[in-house]
Amino acid sequence: VEEALRQSQKMEAVGQLTGGIAHDFNNMLAAVIGPLDLLAMRLGETDPLVTRYIDMAIDGANRAAQLTQRLLAFSRQQPLQPVPVDANRLVAGMSDLFVHSLGSNIRLETSLASDLWLTFADANQLESVILNLVVNARDAMPSGGHLAVQTSNCPVDVASTDLHPGIPRGDYILVTVADDGVGMSQDVIAKAFDPFFTTKQVGQGTGLGLSQVYGFVKQSAGHVKLCSTIGEGTTVKLYLPRLVADAAVVDAPVAVESALPD
């Protein structure tokens, strides 16, 4: 319990620090990208080489902006737009993305619970979080393996609280991403959610994937559980709060619709 408290205090402190930096850095980037865009327009097609250099600069600045977005997501300073989400439809809608991200040596098994409850979350962020987990699972199985993506209804109550240590009672939907890859040591597990912590080679990982996951679940009033054993694999569980039945929501299927990617 003490360790958990220490960990959450650390995450708070790191979150405040990175959030402050990312916020200011984002403003500075806007001051770079804006004039570059204007310059590109002004110069038009006059000199293809100049256009190329400007495009490269804009590209670089945009990549930096994406990085700050992930930092802001971690520090929960990124405004989310929660809507009622059917995680089954969201996961189903990602199947092309999965195929595209995974090599043929990884066997993907998706199992979607019937009658899954709705949750209330930012659909784009949730998609990005699930993709982060899938990409991590892929990277953990360089010579192939088995990847399971699962949804389920998960009531945490008197009867089931032992199965979900540390998760406050309540109704959740569970999104589970499990691999049978290399697994993580205790050391790596302890640092896995830290921004910029990565064991991957330079250029392969930014160390922001799980930080983004952490920020997202915190901001969505959810929880994340990481279980990993070296040589056996890793399971990440996202607990997202069940959307409490609400007449306004039932009457507004459009909102559910707009939560889903095309």
Give the nearer residue to ligand ADP in terms of CB position, either 88 or 136: 136
Question: Least distance in Å: CB of 30 to ligand ADP?
Answer: 25
Closest CA to 140 of 186, 204, 91, 190: 204
199 binds ligand ADP (CB under 6 A): yes
Which one of 1-9, 19-27, 28-36, 184-192 is the stretch in contact with ligand ADP (CB under 6 A)?
184-192
Give the nearer residue to ligand ADP in terms of CB position, either 94 or 178: 178
Give the nearer residue to ligand ADP in terms of CB position, either 72 or 116: 72
Give the nearer residue to ligand ADP in terms of CB position, either 119 or 136: 136
Site string for ligand ADP, 140-179 (x = CB under 6 A): x--------------------------------------x
Whole-angstrom distance, CA of residue 197 vs CA of residue 233 = 19
Give the nearer residue to ligand ADP in terms of CB position, either 226 or 252: 226
Question: Least distance in Å: CB of 102 to ligand ADP?
Answer: 13
Question: Least distance in Å: CB of 210 to ligand ADP?
Answer: 3
Interface with ligand ADP (CB under 6 A): 132, 136-137, 140, 179, 181-184, 188, 192, 197-200, 205-211, 234
